[in-house]
Amino acid sequence: MNGYDFTLAGATLTAPGSGALWWPARGVLVVSDLHLGKSERIARRGGAALPPYETRDTLTRLAADLALSDARTVVCLGDSFDDIAASQALREEERQWIFRLQAGRRWVWIEGNHDPGPIEFGGAHLAELPITPLIFRHIARSGASGEISGHYHPKATVSLRGRTVTRAAFLIDADRVILPAYGTYTGGLRAQTPVLRDLMHPQAVAVLTGPHPTAIPMPR
């Protein structure tokens, strides 16, 4: 997969423009914060009736990344569903689509704050997953090393060819990677927000997603 190549704890990783993370030596594809079923959850709680296409769009992009990488293992870093009820309310064709994506692969659902309990899909359901030399969890922990997490939906802004562009972004330093949200109906937290600024080293970079992944010094 093409993207921004870097090394974390001795593991060579790629941050492609889709917002997934690829570990080629282990055949591991990592995605975070899919928030499948978000439109259903918002409507159920009395919010706006958004077009219910975000699950289909997110799964379409995930299927494309799986086809491109031929990943043997998929790690979903939590908040894969907007809540437990949303996972149960998916349309049958969407449920079957997930089962097809899982077929023939190791699939790990990391627990998030939106989906903290077991869900009715195959695969392993874990609080975190160590695969030496890396550790996969939903929320970053201060002092960790070799850590890959999500949760914060980071985004960054850059000036490109005379215009200002804001995109979901990977945050990367010598100890950790915080993935952007992969889901279609997900907002973002600016990289210069204090919680992200405090987690990341001063030399951290932000890699903006999109057709041409762009690395910039992490905005502070």
* Domain residue limits, the chain: 4-217
Task: Give CA–CA dist 133/166, Å, rounded.
Answer: 32
Ramachandran region of residue 80, left (φ > 0), alpha (ψ -120 to 50) or beta? alpha
Task: Give CA–CA dist 187/116, Å, rounded.
Answer: 20
pLDDT at 190: 96
pLDDT at 48: 63
* Percent of the chain whose pLDDT exceeds 70: 93
113 versus 139: the higher-pLDDT residue is 139
pLDDT band at 40 (very low <50, low <70, confident <90, very high): low
What average pLDDT does the segment 188-193 reach? 95
* Percent of the chain whose pLDDT exceeds 90: 70
Reduced to 3 states (helix: H, G, I; strand: E, B; else coil), residue 57 is helix
What average pLDDT does the segment 29-37 reach? 92
pLDDT band at 83 (very low <50, low <70, confident <90, very high): confident
* 39-48, 108-117, 207-216: which is most confident: 207-216
CB under 8 Å to 144, separation ≥6 — which residues? 135, 175, 176
pLDDT digits (tens, 9 = 90+) for 142-186: 999 999 999 999 999 988 777 888 999 999 999 999 999 999 878
> Which of 98, 64, 66 is closest to 80 using CA atoms?
98
CA atoms within 13 A on the CB side of 40: 18
pLDDT digits (tens, 9 = 90+) for 105-130: 999 999 988 877 777 888 999 999 99
- Give, in words, the CATH class of 4-217: alpha beta
pLDDT at 201: 97
pLDDT at 39: 62
Q: What is the mean pLDDT of the chain?
A: 91
* Residue corresponding to tokens 């009736």: 49
121 versus 15: the higher-pLDDT residue is 15
